[in-house]
């Protein structure tokens, strides 16, 4: 990934940093006597993967919470929650994660959850993490009742009589979601220790946690002080009142702003010749411009979550307006997800020169299926990676784990093959080369995360974060990319995997 030396045969590491990269003879010649020589027998070494949009602080709990990702029915969700309830300590909410309402043919209801967990609050999160279902106790504790109005930017689903069904969308889930994690967060150091090693085994050496509450930032500080984080984690802060709420100044640092919803992202599509909007848009262009300028003036970088074409258009318009006032802001903002694009939006993003952080693994997990309303509007392109690259968009990749598959090689395979787990191909003309996909998950990702001075490529002076792979992703057949094994993971010159 070093443009001046894209391929090399050997490298030397000292004190956790790369000190030489070159031909074998050259590097051996330069070594001092006390270097240990490791012969990889021709295997491939690549930079450690960087994941600039990962939800480590919720994914780390996956071993403690009910895993509903494989649930085929509401009964499966109930069984998983009932089992998790037996392991859930007193005072903590029973948590489930990852159900897919397509597979269940609908969302569970609070009654379904009450039957599984009658006596304490329980909440099961949709795979998108933008909608969830609570049982009756959860709704009481979160202050959701028949008389509760829908908050701006959210919706409380109700039955015909007006009674909440338990299903909460976007900002309507802020209180329940925050409360459901509170007691668990005390165990963060413990789960982070194990989770960061799982990440390293997948070849991930640095991430950014894309939504960290002020309370969780304190947990991160504890985990770091305990030496529990095996990989580098940078935090992107959300406000204290919940992920999708208007950001506040409760904690400094890189700021996350949700411009639109997730599963119900803000779309504008032509239907029968007339424009029709749908989904949740959290800010107007003017409001977002003001938020960007305030963040930049406070010396903060900003990550804009924008998924639907209307959400992306709002983000792009606000960035255009804000950089007119503060041109230096251009380097202090990026757009994450950018799923539903148009040729016009691609061109405007390329002109702005801001980073886009996209998630190819969703093509693998769900075959590219997403918002219900992309409809038949021909102008909308879903994850148009090749078009974006051709237009000059700075494009990095990430997982959005646990919403998407954590393994970077799965993401790379999906970007190259545009093929789902079940073999469905989506817009094959938008496929990238293996080298472009690899770059987007290493050097591009490091640049988008602002850590390219130390990570993302194997260059003298950078951290020795590197992987030994079972085969060369630039030479193996595209269909085998997802099954490449990460044989070894080295971070700062120390082998973490295998231990
Ligand atoms: Zn995310």
Ligand 1 mean position, distance from CA 407 (Å): 15
Ligand 1 mean position, distance from CA 257 (Å): 11
Tell me the C-alpha distance between 415 and 282, whole Å: 30
Ligand 1 mean position, distance from CA 453 (Å): 25
The pLDDT of residue 351 is: 98
The 10 Å Cβ neighbour count of residue 252 is 12
pLDDT band for position 377 (50/70/90)? confident
Tens of pLDDT, residues 278-300: 999 999 999 999 999 999 999 99
Ligand 1 mean position, distance from CA 86 (Å): 30
**Mean pLDDT computed over 249-269:** 92
Ligand 1 mean position, distance from CA 30 (Å): 44
* Angle at which helices 343-352 and 309-325 cross, to 10°: 30
Strand spans (E) along 159-278:
164-170, 204-212, 232-237, 255-258, 267-271, 274-278
Query: What are the residues whose beta carbons fall under 8 Å from the beta carbon of 392, sequence distance 6 or more?
Result: 350
Ligand 1 mean position, distance from CA 399 (Å): 8
Helix, strand or coil for residue 346? helix
Ligand 1 mean position, distance from CA 37 (Å): 41
Closest C-alpha among 191, 176, 184, 185 to residue 113: 176
* φ/ψ of residue 104, rounded to 5: -80, -5
Q: What tokens were used for 44?
A: 């491939």
C-alpha distance from residue 486 to each of 178, 244, 249, 362 (Å): 35, 35, 40, 21
Residue 240's Cα: distance from chain center in Å? 20
Q: Is the pLDDT of residue 375 over 60?
A: no
Ligand 1 mean position, distance from CA 90 (Å): 30
Tell me the C-alpha distance between 147 and 189, whole Å: 40
The region that residue 345 occupies, defined by phi over 0 for left and psi between -120 and 50 for alpha, beta otherwise, is: alpha
Checking DSSP bridges between strand 466-469 and strand 302-306, what pairing results, if any? unpaired
Sign of CA dihedral 375, 379, 380, 383: positive
Helix, strand or coil for residue 47? strand
Ligand 1 mean position, distance from CA 261 (Å): 11
Ligand 1 mean position, distance from CA 53 (Å): 6
Residue 250's Cα: distance from chain center in Å? 23
* Helix, strand, coil abundance in the chain, percent, nearest 5: 35, 25, 40
Ligand 1 mean position, distance from CA 35 (Å): 42
Q: Is the pLDDT of residue 423 over 50?
A: yes
427 neighbors 387 (Cβ within 8 angstroms): no
The pLDDT of residue 248 is: 85
Tens of pLDDT, residues 49-106: 999 999 999 999 988 999 999 999 999 999 999 999 999 999 999 999 999 999 998 9
C-alpha distance from residue 204 to each of 207, 359, 408 (Å): 7, 15, 7
Say how many Å lie between the first and final Cα of the chain, rounded.
26
pLDDT band for position 371 (50/70/90)? very low
């Amino acid at each position: 990934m070093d443009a001046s030396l894209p391929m090399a045969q050997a490298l030397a590491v000292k004190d956790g940093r790369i000190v030489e990269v070159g031909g074998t003879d050259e590097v051996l010649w330069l070594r001092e006597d006390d270097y240990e020589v490791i012969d990889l027998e021709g295997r491939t070494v690549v930079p450690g993967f960087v994941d600039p949009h990962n939800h480590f602080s919720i994914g780390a709990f996956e071993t403690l919470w009910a895993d509903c990702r494989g649930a085929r029915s509401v009964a499966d969700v109930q069984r998983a929650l009932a089992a998790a309830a037996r392991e859930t300590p007193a005072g903590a909410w029973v948590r489930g994660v990852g159900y897919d309402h397509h597979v269940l043919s609908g969302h569970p209801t609070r009654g379904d959850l009450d039957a599984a967990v009658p006596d304490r609050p329980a909440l099961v999160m949709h795979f998108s993490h933008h909608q969830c279902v609570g049982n009756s106790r959860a709704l009481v504790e979160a202050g959701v009742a028949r008389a509760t109005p829908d908050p701006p930017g959210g919706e409380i689903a109700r039955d015909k009589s007006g009674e909440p069904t338990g299903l909460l969308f976007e900002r309507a889930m802020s209180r329940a979601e925050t409360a459901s994690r509170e007691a668990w967060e005390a165990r963060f150091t413990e789960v982070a220790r194990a989770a960061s090693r799982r990440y390293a085994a997948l070849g991930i050496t640095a991430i950014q946690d894309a939504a960290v509450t002020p309370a969780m930032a304190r947990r991160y500080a504890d985990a770091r002080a305990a030496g529990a984080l095996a990989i580098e984690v940078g935090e992107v802060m959300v406000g204290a009142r919940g992920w999708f709420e208007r950001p506040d100044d409760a904690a400094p640092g890189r700021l996350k702003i949700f411009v639109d919803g997730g599963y119900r992202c803000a779309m504008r599509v032509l239907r029968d010749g007339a424009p029709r909007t749908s989904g949740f848009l959290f800010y107007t262009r003017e409001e977002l411009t003001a938020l960007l300028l305030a963040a930049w003036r406070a010396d903060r970088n900003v990550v804009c979550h924008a998924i639907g074409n209307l959400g992306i258009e709002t983000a792009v318009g606000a960035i255009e307006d804000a950089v007119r006032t503060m041109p230096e802001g251009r380097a202090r903002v990026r757009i994450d997800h950018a799923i539903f694009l148009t040729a016009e939006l691609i061109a405007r993003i390329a002109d702005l020169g801001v980073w886009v952080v996209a998630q190819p693994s969703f093509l693998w997990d769900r075959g590219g299926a997403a918002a219900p309303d992309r409809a038949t509007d021909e102008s909308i392109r879903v994850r148009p990676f090749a078009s974006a690259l051709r237009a000059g968009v700075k494009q990095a990749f990430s997982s959005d784990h646990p919403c998407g598959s954590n393994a970077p090689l799965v993401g790379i395979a999906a970007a190259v093959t545009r093929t789902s787990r079940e073999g469905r191909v989506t817009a094959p003309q938008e496929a990238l080369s293996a080298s472009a996909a690899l770059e987007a998950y290493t050097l591009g990702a490091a640049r988008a995360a602002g850590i390219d001075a130390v990570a993302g490529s194997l260059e003298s002076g950078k951290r020795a974060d590197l992987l030994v792979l079972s085969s060369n992703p630039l030479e193996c057949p595209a269909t085998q990319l997802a099954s490449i094994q990460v044989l070894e993971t080295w971070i700062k010159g120390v082998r973490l995997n295998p231990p």
